[in-house]
Structure 1
């Protein structure tokens, strides 16, 4: 254009897709359900109609009135803040759209926090944020219920509103009647927690009158999660374990409960666990999912009830059967985990609490003066630093310092998609020439897409098998499959990190360089 001076020394920035950084993969809703916008809608070459055929509905055709939604939200706010009607009771009235959906990412309350709250003349200064997300500080039951409603029930995860694991809205903690009798608890397999453990309590102690004023916290917790074991509750309530058991016995007498796991079953389970069996060699069983859902049944892990048994895999730390289960992975006995470590050979990282002798164990780490276990780098995020800058093809990842063979670079993360989801996005990948799909296992039922979200590992460019200096390893880490990137040879500081994408990546691709340009 006339009047515009273009500096010939200034080069345009290499093209790349937007990529908000994350450190853990996300499991979104079904991609094929609704498309939010038309990508490359202004470019005639993009096959718009063919792309739209992959989706069941279009977001712009949904009957949505933002003004109406604001009125509904204001109605909820005034009913709660002005008339002191609880959010739960407002939802029960059914005079407004559902306030809470089947997951934490649905419902009117979720929609309210997706954009700024509108203000208008006559409106009030306060909104309903405190009503929906901040229970009263002096109401322990509301505070616990609020946390449990959003806390991930996977024992390996410590996040609220988790976007990685599949779980029901209210998790696995509480919300129902007690199902375990006191007798079953006493006969269950497990070690006593001390001299005052409930497992050592005799019948004479059951008549002791417990000070009610000191146990309000315990009674509140039991009303929400009645089947937590006394040993766990003792730590939460700062009370002796046997007093917790007595209080539970008073609240939930055995004659008022139906125990679907009778004492005989529990005794059988304990007997089976105490029987010495020939140690099995640990081996990796590729699952059908990136995240292996832990088993949640009662009693021993048998075919009729245990999902781990049916999937032919070991139980994991997050399983409800406990670390003494016969199917639990036994870990390694190494003092220093190198290439001959059974965990390493079977594509697992060492597990704290299972691998006792190496530095994966907290007890060892507290007294060790050596470096941490080398086979725990991914779970510790102990990655070598990389720099993203211009490369031969688009953007690339470069070593910041000298690296030796086997150094950990990072964990490939992104959206967890099914094959059907990937099929619905192939027009975008082919048109842009940038493909970030990465299969994680031999089963190929799920893969990771780092195009919309990811981290620096998405910028590793392709090279031939002879020239590549990095490799990808699929590892099982705390019940989840991860794709870790490691150097396969020494890399000098400032050199580009290159990965062989594999023959399958180039299948049906006529122009390799177009994909390389993705960076």
Structure 2
């Protein structure tokens, strides 16, 4: 059991002679006098000698006590009151005032006037330098305590127990003479050397070894979004021989260059070490900062005031973050005297701990220390969840509009799952999080207009409410006995706050199309009675949102290949849209424009896509709006097998039925997680919601039937053709990030190493799935080419669109019996796709370099011919050899060579220099690193 943190603090202030912590505490309670003088030098177990120039670091603070009050000297610039009170001591011969003579005005006072300490930068600096020795003493005591008590601890009990002893019946394999013999040469100093022979005991067994594997994976149920990462740790392959060291170093340099090429901020190995040392030093000082401030007792100088001062002087912190820090660090000491005190302490602290001559790479400032505080770090070092603008800090007196009040909801609220912290969205090239929120479709204002249009349709059927939109007594049911539909509130209630009024206005806007009265909905959010909410409605004079005028809009013409009302596809729909071909999509943002959807104003129509439910357009203004399936109204089930009829339109478009659009087909009940284990429910009705159900077949991991492949995935139950098997899940990363990860995981000394867990999800967008660390059992599925070779493929992957996100689904190609291993085809580029792409990049770079060398050689030959002509000219002296060009001249010649190189044709470069047309198109589009078209839509590289 680990020691308590309080015990560590007490240990740092304890004496070596104490009989343990309990005895020392009992001694303190019985003898409240001054403690024994503590050691000024560290014990012998410290890792480095203590000196004023090299304090020792630790992670445990010392306890503040009264026996170590510092005495400082100097001139007066700041004053503070020392809380130490000293009583006047009298002996039998001393002079004092008689106890019964109150009229004696010359009596000796019983207490002295509190002494005022004057603080300057030099005094605080000297005091902090003395305090820094506490770090070394604390480290020494903690180390001594751990070494003395570690052997007393019991060994940790195993977390799992196996009833079967796997080592019973194992037999040692005899070692053959001479095979694998190990010679040991021992040098003995004494002459009495004993020559003896010992039998070698073999440790080999007749049992098969466990298959090798690369990574332990963490089980997840759905894909998680990951940002671009840099090479933080040097990959360890194995112990290197002398001749392999150079090749390994070059490999590490190539990995760092890949990070730089991708635009990531990289650090050298030395810079990484220095950064780690500075962070550890700052964390150590942060633990001691509170106790040091208590010892100093400088007025108006606390961690709160220091944090506020740091936040106000830092440009890297936004205005909203500064206001949040000010709110968390409550302090009323913002006077000029407080600012002066904080400045003096900050300067003294930086003089002591930001001295590079003393602390070397561990020099830190007070700013670095305070940024690591939990209350500050959670605000400053958080993910970029919101876009900060200069006009964020608005005065309270300003009239807040609905858009301003719901700004956070607009920027952070996810359109798919309606949460503020989820795995939907993407990371840009600068690692900035882009969320799939209302802000993507134009913000709150367009959404209000859409809600008004829906509310107008609902209210048109309420003939009783034409005069007053809030009179629902004829057709609404009261929510409680205190509902406004039953009683009227006459008693006085507390006034409404600005926040409650904005909630009321937001409810009118967003719940105007609901059957439940808005008063009842708002009452739940505000905690007020419905009667009070209804009275505030009438007091503010609120009205339902007005339907936007549609005068002047042209009638939407239907398309011949899709009927949005009958929900069917016609004729050559596959040639008119690529909605079903997810690997060809390169546009994913919903459209947000005014008017009907046409190729002139709609990005969806311009890219050959159908408008989804997240787009701003409606069924009335968009002819290509996807409206779900109509299988239930036609008496069919959502299945790919339809007798003599076309399958479900959702299946045709490679998507699962959406409960928001296909409500009547039964997808809503089957997508409910509560019904995931109800097998009887899924035997009928909608059969196109397997990923939303999330229940895979019973699968087991075992040794693969393919030699040398390690583990494989086997089915433990019979699987019928076209049944859902499992989903491929992992980290959602960019294409560049995937190439860098594969390069880091590869073995530079083993080119035949074929192991990868990357899967292309969206080819044109460059989104991959990496299941190396985070994933499920699907990461163990191995590769097979075709039927007819071995067992062949028995499952196939398919990219599906499920409720706004893209996922990979494995289905059975045929009937699979229990016990069979699962295989699928990784793609035409298997097995060394990423290495091929990297090699092509190197060849292109080498081709350009070789072309420059050829041009230089041609220029040198021309110059030599000119020199020969000069030599043979009559009457001329023998010419000199051309002098070596200066550095500037060489730069000019290289530039000219580069210009000539660009003017050459493909024939001049040779076949290895010629570029494919797809590569030229990628360069025009500004793609980086590799050509994504080389990877198939369902290809997964493994090497």
TM-score normalised to structure 2 length? 0.40
1:35 aligns with 2:194: no
- Give the whole-Å Cα distance in 2 for the aligned partners of 1:479 and 1:199: 39
Q: Which of the numbers 386, 390, 394 marks the counterpart of 2:703?
A: 390
1:18 aligns with 2:216: yes
1:476 aligns with 2:736: no
Other-structure match for 2:582: 286
Q: Which deviations, in whole Å up to 9, do the C-alpha atoms of 1:412-464 show, x marking residues without a partner?
A: 12222333223323423542531112123453622222123211111111112
Q: Which deviations, in whole Å up to 9, do the C-alpha atoms of 1:139-194 show, x marking residues without a partner?
A: xxxxxx999679953322255422331365795489x9975799x57863455556
Q: Which of the numbers 548, 551, 566 marks the counterpart of 1:263?
A: 548
Cα distance, 1:37 vs structure 2: 1.4
Q: Which runs of 5+ in 2 are unaligned?
A: 1-181, 183-199, 294-301, 322-327, 329-372, 383-404, 427-432, 472-483, 525-529, 564-568, 574-578, 641-646, 748-752, 837-939
Q: Which deviations, in whole Å up to 9, do the C-alpha atoms of 1:182-222 show, x marking residues without a partner?
A: 9x57863455556998996657979x999985976752536
Other-structure match for 1:140: none
User: Structure 2 vs 1, CA of residues 197 and 92 (structure 1 numbering), >3 Å: closer, same or farther?
Assistant: farther
Do 1:401 and 1:493's aligned partners in 2 also have CA atoms closer than 8 Å? yes
Larger radius of gyration: 2
Cα distance, 1:402 vs structure 2: 1.0
Do 1:347 and 1:475's aligned partners in 2 also have CA atoms closer than 8 Å? yes
User: Structure 2 vs 1, CA of residues 442 and 423 (structure 1 numbering), >3 Å: closer, same or farther?
Assistant: closer
1:155 aligns with 2:415: yes
SS of the aligned residue for 2:590 comes to: coil
Cα distance, 1:394 vs structure 2: 0.8
User: Structure 2 vs 1, CA of residues 406 and 268 (structure 1 numbering), >3 Å: closer, same or farther?
Assistant: farther
Do 1:343 and 1:349's aligned partners in 2 also have CA atoms closer than 8 Å? yes
Do 1:337 and 1:358's aligned partners in 2 also have CA atoms closer than 8 Å? yes
Do 1:333 and 1:356's aligned partners in 2 also have CA atoms closer than 8 Å? no
Other-structure match for 1:359: 666
Other-structure match for 1:349: 656
Other-structure match for 2:717: 401
Paired residues, what number? 462
Taking CA–CA contacts closer than 8 Å with sequence separation of 6 or more, which of the two structures ends up with the larger relative contact order?
A: 1
Q: Which of the numbers 429, 435, 452 marks the counterpart of 2:756?
A: 435
User: Structure 2 vs 1, CA of residues 93 and 503 (structure 1 numbering), >3 Å: closer, same or farther?
Assistant: same
SS of the aligned residue for 1:474 comes to: strand
SS of the aligned residue for 2:688 comes to: helix
Cα distance, 1:26 vs structure 2: 2.5
Q: Which of the numbers 815, 830, 835 marks the counterpart of 1:505?
A: 830
Q: Which deviations, in whole Å up to 9, do the C-alpha atoms of 1:444-498 show, x marking residues without a partner?
A: 6222221232111111111122011110111111122211111111111121111
- Give the whole-Å Cα distance in 2 for the aligned partners of 1:163 and 1:341: 29
Do 1:436 and 1:449's aligned partners in 2 also have CA atoms closer than 8 Å? yes
Other-structure match for 1:458: 779
User: Structure 2 vs 1, CA of residues 503 and 370 (structure 1 numbering), >3 Å: closer, same or farther?
Assistant: closer
SS of the aligned residue for 2:259 comes to: coil
- Give the whole-Å Cα distance in 2 for the aligned partners of 1:437 and 1:245: 60
1:336 aligns with 2:637: yes
Q: Which deviations, in whole Å up to 9, do the C-alpha atoms of 1:349-375 show, x marking residues without a partner?
A: 111132244221449999979535211
Do 2:829 and 2:941's aligned partners in 1 also have CA atoms closer than 8 Å? no
SS of the aligned residue for 2:691 comes to: helix
Do 1:399 and 1:495's aligned partners in 2 also have CA atoms closer than 8 Å? yes
1:313 aligns with 2:609: yes
RMSD (CA atoms): 5.6
- Give the whole-Å Cα distance in 2 for the aligned partners of 1:473 and 1:177: 34
Range moving further from structure 2, 387-396 or 22-31? 22-31
User: Structure 2 vs 1, CA of residues 299 and 371 (structure 1 numbering), >3 Å: closer, same or farther?
Assistant: same
SS of the aligned residue for 2:219 comes to: coil
User: Structure 2 vs 1, CA of residues 341 and 224 (structure 1 numbering), >3 Å: closer, same or farther?
Assistant: closer
- Give the whole-Å Cα distance in 1 for the aligned partners of 2:763 and 2:437: 30
1:377 aligns with 2:676: no
Do 2:703 and 2:710's aligned partners in 1 also have CA atoms closer than 8 Å? yes
Cα distance, 1:399 vs structure 2: 0.5
Do 2:724 and 2:810's aligned partners in 1 also have CA atoms closer than 8 Å? yes
Do 1:357 and 1:364's aligned partners in 2 also have CA atoms closer than 8 Å? no
Q: Which runs of 5+ in 1 are unaligned?
A: 103-108, 110-125, 134-144
Q: Which deviations, in whole Å up to 9, do the C-alpha atoms of 1:335-362 show, x marking residues without a partner?
A: 3122222221221111113224422144
User: Structure 2 vs 1, CA of residues 420 and 169 (structure 1 numbering), >3 Å: closer, same or farther?
Assistant: closer
Do 1:409 and 1:457's aligned partners in 2 also have CA atoms closer than 8 Å? no
TM-score normalised to structure 1 length? 0.68
- Give the whole-Å Cα distance in 1 for the aligned partners of 2:454 and 2:444: 19
SS of the aligned residue for 1:440 comes to: strand
User: Structure 2 vs 1, CA of residues 310 and 194 (structure 1 numbering), >3 Å: closer, same or farther?
Assistant: same
Q: Which deviations, in whole Å up to 9, do the C-alpha atoms of 1:25-81 show, x marking residues without a partner?
A: 2332224xx2221223655465222222111344663545324367679999x9xxx
